[in-house]
Amino acid sequence: MKLFTVGPVACRPEVLREMSIQMFSHRSVEYQRLHQETIERLQRFLETRNQVFLFPSSGSGVMEATIRNCVRKRMLCCINGAFGKRYADVARSNGREVVELRTPLGEPTTPEELDRCLRENPDVEAVAITYNETSVGLINPLPQLAEVVKSHGKLLFVDAVSAMGGAEIKVDEWGIDVCFSSSQKCFGIPPGLAVASVSDEALRLSEQATNKGWYFDFKLYERYQQREWSTHMTPPIPQIAALRKELEIIEKEGGKEARLELYRKRSERIREGIKELDLTLFPRKGYESPTVTCVNAPEGMSGIEIYERMRERGFELAKGYGEVKERTFRIGNMGYIQWEDIEEMLKALAEVIG
């Protein structure tokens, strides 16, 4: 099966081989070296001097951690789809109040709307933005939105789960307080590891936070990292080894720019192919994601039918999500994908839609 999923995605053979190394203790020098090298590579990749932590969870774990460590009472969630909504749900389930800034599905959050919402709600402590809304294949204008958040002096959390590794992120320049992702998306690593950069301000708030729990306490991550390049619990060593390998490959293949260019080209080719088939895209023009293409199903066919027929031909795409499950289908281009596979997938799609 050729995977064009939205995660978990296919992994490079070298990365999978790296995961089969013999285990060592997370209190050993071998682990310390692995941890330190992975962190330093991530800091270069994210262009940040902030600390970067490794979490033994998927991305949603860090979503919850941002709230428990850094929000006392009230936060703002920008919602363009299922994952923005999840942020709000997680905040409410932790007893926080949420101001929702919703856009119609397929539309980005605009800097003007965000500015207006922050003027109307000066008491929110933090703003959460889903950089790339996987459910509808939409990328938000993060640099401009970040500027608005910072002009209001608020903390900024960025859910970069389906963006990190496939779309530009400049943590320090854009002033992101917590920027997180999961291993099973653009980095092309099996699931089970999340990474996040955490600012000094976020750590200061964590220090003052009460009832933040133990497992996701940012201050404990900081203490163990500074003291011994390790974590306060047993980390997922195979995933971390795989991530170090992937970051090493990125650096060897021309660095971040070359990797982002690859994502741009892959998504452009997929969009071009979609256009050649007279199909249309779901998100507003100009905000199409470089990692997930969300396509409107043609007249007389549901997105689910297209998904099923593509599977019969050996291609695993992704069904639409939530409200647009029937009307759309999605084509991910994250992880280990060859150019020939993209061409074959588009050929199969042409047969399927007839």
The residue within the footprint of ligand PLP, chosen from 66, 103, 134, 231 (CB under 6 A), is 134
Q: Which is nearer to ligand PLP, 185 or 352 (CB)?
A: 185
Residue with smaller CB distance to ligand PLP, 19 or 82 = 82
Minimum CB separation of residue 30 from ligand PLP in Å reads 27
User: In 3-state terms, what secondary structure has residue 100?
Assistant: strand
- Applying CB under 6 A, the span of 55-63, 254-262, 267-275, 339-347 interacting with ligand PLP comes to 55-63
In the block, which residue shows the tokens 């389930």? 93
Pick the closest to residue 225 from 46, 64, 19, 50 (CA basis).
50
Between the CA of residue 85 and those of 104, 244, 340, what are the distances in Å? Answer: 13, 32, 36
Task: Count residues binding ligand PLP (CB under 6 A).
Answer: 11
Tokens of 205: 């708030």
Pattern 146-185, ligand PLP, x by CB under 6 A:
-------------x-xx-------------------x---
Considering only CA atoms, give the Rg of the chain: 20
- As a whole number of angstroms, the distance between CA 277 and CA 153 comes to 47
319 binds ligand PLP (CB under 6 A): no
Instruction: Give the whole-angstrom CA distance, residue 58 versus residue 62.
Output: 8
Which three-class secondary structure state does DSSP give residue 273? Answer: helix
Q: Which of 58, 80, 230, 291 binds ligand PLP (CB under 6 A)?
A: 58
Site string for ligand PLP, 59-78 (x = CB under 6 A): xx------------------
Q: Which one of 7, 165, 166, 238 is in contact with ligand PLP (CB under 6 A)? A: 7
User: What is the residue whose two structure tokens read 């020939």?
Assistant: 340
Residues from 77 through 106 that contact ligand PLP (CB under 6 A): 83
Kindly list the strands in the beta sheet with 178-182, ordered across the sheet, starting from the edge strand earlier in the chain: 51-55, 194-198, 178-182, 155-159, 126-130, 74-79, 97-102
Among the residue ranges 56-64, 170-178, 331-339, 341-349, the one whose residues contact ligand PLP (CB under 6 A): 56-64
Binding stretches for ligand PLP (CB under 6 A): 7, 58-60, 83, 130, 134, 159, 161-162, 182
